[in-house]
Amino acid sequence: MSEYAITFTARERAELLPVERDPSPLQPDEVAGRTIASLVSTGTELNAGFLGDSFPRRTGYAAVFRVEEMGTRVSRFRRGDLAYCMGAHQSFQRVPESNAIPVPEGLSPAEAVFARLMGVSMSTLTTTTARPPQRVLVTGLGIVGHLAARIFQLCGYEVFACDPSVRRREIAQEAGIAPVCSRVPADELAGTIALVLECSGNEEAALDGCRVVCKRGEVVLVGTPWRRYTERTAFELTHAIFHHYAVVRSGWEWELPLHPQDFRTNSIYGNQEAALRWLAERRISVKGLYSTASPQDCQRVYRSLLHGDWPTLTAVFDWEQV
């Protein structure tokens, strides 16, 4: 059977190309099977892939597959089970059992893949000093910021959110995120925010965050600064940090270990397993946040996401259409 993977072959060019499947026998701890759904991570895939400068390169970060083969030591899965993994946009997956999570019964593959992007801000959730019901500000309501606002609301924080995009604000309001503003209401929030999740990668938003935190409040840079947006200076940022007693740090999700360790029980896979559970229990709904497409339409999908005319915040590839 032919196998395929979405590949960036040139700047602003995505293609579905044939690929070789590893012919070696499965290791005792591995599971493998055909992909059902995979999720587009818009920030990274557009900026570091579709607009990148190194080709060809494959892409993708989250997938659900149906288990078809198992190593002799696999105990968590049976043939026919649905499994989530941090897999690429390709028609098959093969991973160690420890890096796959059973999809809860009743949760669709197209929804399960969102556990990956929920995990981004859940790293901050498990490391922040802010505690409910303190105030949290989320700047940037792309898919990562949107999910961050929903997660922190769910956990009992008082959440404020902002984004200059009317469409993103409308999607957030329809999902129950409130209040939502076009920019940080500095006068209203000054000195009251315990945690800022900066999810836009915009230096203006980071500066605004430093100006509204309470003393020793955290500004966590979740969004990657892919390019310069403003003429703001480092002096303005350091001035705000110093005079507002702000703690500024990276929102690098990989600060956590992949799996629980002694004295470090929070982990990447632990967060993603919790995210799958929350999705299955309908604590978090992703309906209306994505549109599905065939992997054969990958060029149209990435171009539409790049130019802002894709109808939702992101896309899920349906591999059963290949």
Point out the domain boundary residue: 213, 237, 255.
255
- What angle separates helix 115-125 from helix 268-280, to the nearest 10 degrees? 120
Contacts of 177 (CB under 8 A, 6+ apart): 141, 146, 149, 150, 153, 159, 161
Does residue 156 sit in the same domain as residue 236? Answer: yes
Q: Is 184 helix (H, G, I), strand (E, B) or coil?
A: coil
Does residue 36 sit in the same domain as residue 48? Answer: yes
In a domain, 267, yes or no: no
Q: Which helix (H) or strand (E) holds 187?
A: helix 186-189
In a domain, 270, yes or no: no
Does residue 251 sit in the same domain as residue 128? Answer: yes
Q: What is the DSSP letter of 46?
A: I
Does residue 125 sit in the same domain as residue 104? Answer: no
Position 161 scores a pLDDT of 98
Does residue 66 sit in the same domain as residue 41? Answer: yes
Does residue 106 sit in the same domain as residue 129? Answer: no
Point out the domain boundary residue: 255, 272, 296.
255
What's 90's domain CATH number? 3.90.180.10
Position 164 scores a pLDDT of 97
Does residue 163 sit in the same domain as residue 98? Answer: no
In a domain, 277, yes or no: no
What's 152's domain CATH number? 3.40.50.720
Task: Give the closest residue to 138 by CA, choosing from 151, 125, 148, 128.
Answer: 148
What are the E-state strand segments in 106-233? Answer: 135-139, 158-162, 180-181, 193-198, 213-221
In a domain, 140, yes or no: yes
Position 66 scores a pLDDT of 98
Does residue 108 sit in the same domain as residue 129? Answer: no
Position 1 scores a pLDDT of 63
Contacts of 254 (CB under 8 A, 6+ apart): 123, 268
Position 2 scores a pLDDT of 80
Count of structural domains within the chain: 2
Position 137 scores a pLDDT of 98
Q: What angle do CA 20, 36, 271 make, to 5 degrees?
A: 105
Sheet of 213-221: strand order equals: 180-181, 158-162, 135-139, 193-198, 213-221, 247-250
Does residue 51 sit in the same domain as residue 106? Answer: yes
Does residue 315 sit in the same domain as residue 249? Answer: no
The torsion angles phi and psi of 25, rounded to 5 degrees, stand at: -60, 150
**Residue 163, domain extent:** 118-255
In a domain, 137, yes or no: yes
Which tokens sit at 110? 């197209």
Pairing of strands 3-10, 57-58: antiparallel
Does residue 33 sit in the same domain as residue 50? Answer: yes
Q: How many helices (H) and strands (E) does the chain have?
A: 10, 16
Encode the chain (322 residues) as per-residue pLDDT tens digits: 689 999 999 999 999 999 999 999 999 999 999 999 999 999 999 999 999 999 999 999 999 999 999 999 999 999 999 999 999 999 999 999 999 999 999 999 999 999 999 999 999 999 999 999 999 999 999 999 999 999 999 999 999 999 999 999 999 999 999 999 999 999 999 999 999 999 999 999 999 999 999 999 999 999 999 999 999 999 999 999 999 999 999 999 999 999 999 988 899 999 999 999 999 999 999 999 999 999 999 999 999 999 999 999 999 999 999 9
In a domain, 204, yes or no: yes
Does residue 124 sit in the same domain as residue 241? Answer: yes
In a domain, 297, yes or no: yes
Pairing of strands 92-96, 100-102: unpaired
DSSP codes of every residue in 121-147: HHHHHTT-S--TTSEEEEE--SHHHHH
In a domain, 124, yes or no: yes
